[in-house]
Structure 1
Amino acid sequence: ASNMAQREGSPMAGLSELAYLRRLQKYQKRKSDYIDHRLHWLETSCEARHRMLQSAKDLRHELTESIQSGDRNKFSVLFNTFHTFRQACNEWDTQSPVIENMNNHPPDYRSGSFLEGLSPDTRDTLLTFLSHVSFDPFFLLDRLLGLPDITFTALSRPYSQSLTGTSIFGNHLRQPSDRTEHENTERFLDFSRSDVLALLLKLIPMDEHTPNGPFSGAWGIICAGLLSYQKAGSDKFVITVMNAHLGQLDKTARHYLDTWLLETIREGDFVLYHADRRPFRNNKGQLSSGFPNDDAKAVDDFFASAIEKLLLILKDNKLTRLIPSSVLSLAKSIVARLDPSSQQQQAAPYFLCTRWLFASYLSSLITSPERILHELAHRTRLIMEGVAYSWYVKPTLAAPRSYVL
């Protein structure tokens, strides 16, 4: 009798269990939508802050220039634009606060995508194009080769450089003030100008992410194709892609590099004592170093010894790891995909060694302490300019002056 009662009550128990699972499913779905919504806004905020940091150096220069020139209108426009953008990032961080009770039918948190506003045909076309760009290196290579030379060259331009060619030292050919202010604001907010290559680097898997997959060597195919067709600006494009594969030095590489730098600076300290001697031309018209014969020989011996030690570190790269394996695999992929009988393959190792390894990578790596010290001196000068200006405006403040002096 008890078994019959259990069988009779089992349908109701089963329905209750299904109803509970259904409610739990809806709850988990709402919670998942909410998490997706928060993730969407956090990704937006992180990307915006990253791009804001990229343009901060250029913006700081523009603000400094406007202060020096006394252009209050330009300063206020750029300053307010920066703070408005930063406020928007803060709002994205705090978008949709957590709701205490998820069972009280919270609103739909699905943020949606701009693709939902497109027609099905347009959406399919766009997704197909993005799929080809991400997973078909030959398709992207054809698109890059079809770009005008000016457009293709702009892909490798650093973000801090301006399309109008203005330099950090200013431009003597001044444009109308209203146009300049508009371009300055547009330059700060226009992230797509120099982020196209960064977007491609995010879309296309790198070799270390797909070591044996069907998409391994995608960037090797693209770079080798550009070098084969001798596309104008392809050398800078390849160097930019190589630098994007670098990442950070590991502890072993940093140890060997720091040791070499300290030994080189310590042993070459005597060179600084002759830095004030200007070079001169001898009777044969040749440029002399300005050092006495003994000192000149010591300087040459010092540089020869330092270069030899650096080359030994590079030679034993399996131990020192100064050149990351990701870049080595990319370089090998580029050379391997060039035509063996072509002039480009014969010149590729020379190009990668001179133009990237020594002229770009090692040059930046070795001089990084100098750039840090230059920045330190620059910031110290800015602080002292502010102190000196306060003395000029309020000469009665004698205490800070005596402290600094």
Structure 2
Amino acid sequence: MDETPWHPLTAAREAAGLSREQLADRVRAAAARRGLRSGVDKSRVRKWELHGVRPDDQHQVYIAEALGLPAPVPDGPLPWPYWLPGAGLPLLPDEIVALGPATTVPALREAFKATMDHTRRRIVVSAVSSTALLALAGAWAQPSHTATAQPEPSDATNLVDGDEISRLEQAAALFTNRATENRMRTVTVLEALLQSVTDLLDERRHGPRDTARLHTLAAKLASEVGWHRFDLGRHAEAARYWIGGLHSTHELGDIDAGAGLLSDLAYQASWRSRPHTAAELLRRALKRARHPAAQSLLQLRLARALAALGDRKSTLRALTAAENLLSVPAADPVPSWCSWYSNADLAVDSGQALLDLGDTRRAHQLIREGQAELPSARIKTYGVFQSYQARSYLELGEPEQAAAAATEALDLALRIGAPRCVQLVRELTPRFEEFPTAEGVPELLARTAV
């Protein structure tokens, strides 16, 4: 079942430091001050936040008072819940799927706004719905959508801008080609570079060649920043950066890079227990992806989503396709977004898919084989793989080895600052609690206690 999107009321309530029960208490108090009675309790607040129930106009006034906010204007321009801080205007489907000329800048500006609002803690942007993501992916998958060339301005303008773009390219390469452990701490620089690239795109005074260079930079930087947000669990922001990058690849006409960003959005959907959405996004990406390595990675991620859905036959078919495609020679270089992809990744993620299907011993073998082949420079991936290894040991009933693997993953994640890896270890806590006296387990449970 799809995860319910983050609601603006949840954001406003938590920003005020209130539980649902405390908000309900304040709402009832607001009604009592008017000599009226409200029957709101925490279950009603939950329905407002999670089930799309709309409070009546009077209760919206009580909610505003309970949160210390101005009362909403009756029949005003912003209906519930869009008058709440940071909810913004509703994200209409046609705004999401409008892939065309000059759509990159607005999409990236939306991502910057989400980050700024999060930093100020006055706004938490709502999640992008599965419906909107699939509509966007469906529009991208239509081959009629092509990049639009721009007229060439004067040579003098190109010369000046070309020098500036070269400096941005050099800086981006410097900060994106660093080791994983160091890249985790350079996101503010990447954001600043992306902002500069976006500003140059917004000027619309570059020729086709320089515009293409800017779009290439925008897509790369948006992907990097999106992954940083993803690692921090700030999923609404990550999705918006990746959507901005997708718009940029569309204007650039780079189909495989666009497929990569759809794959990132699918990976996020799988991570958030939305395998249906992930599978559909990946199927759309596969419609146009060209390079065999890109197709292989898309098939592998599709297999992970299908395994989570329990579709054994389709999972095995996708795994076979991923393995075959990875060995197909290609004249063109591997797209940069999947240049890291190797047999090690294929083995480990195949093992994870088989683990979801209950093939524990084969899964454990593949995870071990893949982990042994992983290059030492990919330290964050190693931590993720170690958490997978811990899970496979637990499935085999070997808690001591599982605790050792999970502890190593946790130590590494804390050292390099990778919250996503920490979360993977913490998600194993219920399984470790089944072995409270096994060597290493009590210490691990104490460290992962929230």
TM norm structure 2:
0.23
Tell which has more relative contact order, 1 or 2 (C-alpha 8 A, sep 6+). 1
Largest Rg, 1 or 2: 1
TM norm structure 1:
0.25
